[in-house]
C-alpha cells in the first residue's frame, strides 16, 4: 500500500514537472531542431540566464517567429563564443551551425544588446561583448582588396554583350 502511494506521488510530480516546463521544452526544441544541435546547449544557456531572464528568453522563442528564432540563435552564438570559448574550432563549429540552418552568421549591435538583456544575471562586460562582435564580423568580412581588384565571383549580367 505504501509503495502504491509512493509511486502515485512520483507520477504526479513527473506529470506536474512536464506540464510546468512544457513551454520551455517546446521553445528549446524549436531552436535545437532548427539548429540541429543537442538540447544541452540551449538548456545550459537557459539555466545560466537565471529564472527571470530564462523565462523571458523562452517567451521570446515561443512567439514562433523566424526573426525571433534567428535572434535567439545569435544570442546562443554570442554566449558560446564570447562567454564560453572563443577558440578557432568553436567559432568554426557555431558559424557552421548557423550556415547549415540558413541563418545569418553576422552579428549586429542589436544582437549584442539582446544578448546583454538575456545574459544580464551573468553581468557580461558591455565593451567586451561589442569588441567581440567587431572581431567576429571583421574575421569573416570580405577582403576589401579582393573586391576592389574584381577577384570576387560576382559577375554583372550587363557586363557581357548579348550575341544570338
Helix (H) or strand (E) holding 56: helix 51-61
- Tens of pLDDT along 44-76? 888 888 889 988 999 888 887 888 889 999 999
SS3 content of the chain, % helix, strand, coil (to 5): 75, 0, 25
pTM above 0.75, yes or no: no
Which residues, at least 6 apart from 14, have a Cβ–Cβ distance to it below 8 Å? Answer: none
Question: Each residue of 100-142: pLDDT tens digit?
Answer: 999 988 999 999 999 999 999 988 899 999 999 999 999 887 6
pLDDT computed for residue 27 by the predictor: 76
What's the confidence (pLDDT) of residue 144? 43
Contacts for 78 with CB less than 8 Å, ≥ 6 apart? 107, 111, 112, 115, 119, 129, 132, 133
Instruction: Report the C-alpha gap between 132 and 62 in whole angstroms.
Output: 28
Amino acid at each position: 500500500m505504501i509503495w502504491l502511494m509512493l509511486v502515485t506521488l512520483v507520477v504526479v510530480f513527473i506529470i506536474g514537472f512536464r506540464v510546468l516546463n512544457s513551454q520551455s521544452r517546446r521553445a528549446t526544441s524549436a531552436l535545437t531542431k532548427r539548429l540541429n544541435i543537442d538540447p544541452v546547449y540551449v538548456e545550459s544557456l537557459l539555466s545560466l540566464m537565471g529564472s527571470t531572464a530564462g523565462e523571458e528568453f523562452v517567451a521570446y522563442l515561443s512567439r514562433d517567429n523566424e526573426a525571433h528564432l534567428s535572434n535567439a540563435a545569435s544570442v546562443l552564438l554570442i554566449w558560446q563564443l564570447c562567454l564560453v570559448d572563443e577558440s578557432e574550432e568553436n567559432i568554426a563549429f557555431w558559424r557552421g551551425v548557423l550556415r547549415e540552418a540558413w541563418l545569418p552568421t553576422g552579428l549586429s549591435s542589436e544582437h549584442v544588446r539582446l544578448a546583454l538583456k538575456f545574459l544580464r544575471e551573468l553581468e557580461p562586460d558591455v565593451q567586451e561583448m561589442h569588441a567581440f562582435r567587431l572581431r567576429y564580423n571583421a574575421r569573416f568580412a570580405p577582403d576589401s582588396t579582393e573586391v576592389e581588384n574584381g577577384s570576387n565571383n560576382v559577375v554583372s549580367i550587363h557586363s557581357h554583350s548579348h550575341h544570338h
